[in-house]
Amino acid sequence: MGVNVKVVSKSSLWGVDFLTFVTLGTQGQDFNRLIKYVELGIQKGLIKDKVIVQAGQTEYKSDLVEIRSYIPKEEQDKLYEECDLLITHGGVGSIIGGLKHSKKIIAVARLKELGEHVNDHQLEILDTFIGSGYIMGADSEDSFIGSLEKIKKFKPKKYKSNTNNLIKMLDSFINK
């Protein structure tokens, strides 16, 4: 006698089968570029279900994604836990939040030259996490679409805290 079992994603708690959580951090500068990349992914059919964006200071209107400037910590923790895909800026806290929940992550650095941040430290952060096999990254519209196409087959390295090395890396960056 067989038993039919339906595997249900944790994101079904949000009323969908697949949930993408996008976090832009809380910087004072806009990061419209990443939301535009996400919208393009939706238009190309690479992101098919619910997208919730924690936009922080970024002001952006969209008919394709749910944008909220602020999400209380408890709800944000639930989103990290229940999302199927995390798309984020290059902030250490956002990346670690996803890694602690074993999420597949695509990260895009905020860039100084585009007025998205005061410096380009997020590029170095992403280089470290990508180079270690924890996340996928993108630095353009095309590479973001490429990451979306590859993310299902991506097998991220299991997260292991590397706080001491990270502190050394940040200390080295600050003292340059």
Domains of the chain plus CATH, in order, are: 14-174 (3.40.50.2000)
Q: What's the rounded mean pLDDT across residues 83-94?
A: 95
Determine the residue type at 149: E
Q: What's the rounded mean pLDDT across residues 122-130?
A: 94
Q: Which residue is it, tokens 């280089």?
A: 127
The model's pLDDT over 133-170, given as tens digits with 9 standing for 90+, comes to 999 999 999 999 999 999 999 999 988 776 787 788 88
Kindly tell me if the per-residue pLDDT of 6 is higher than 70: no
The string of DSSP letters for 30-99 reads --HHHHHHHHHHHHTTSS-SEEEEE-TT-----SSSEEES---HHHHHHHHHH-SEEEE-S-HHHHHHHH
Q: Assign 44 a pLDDT band (cuts: 50, 70, 90).
A: very high
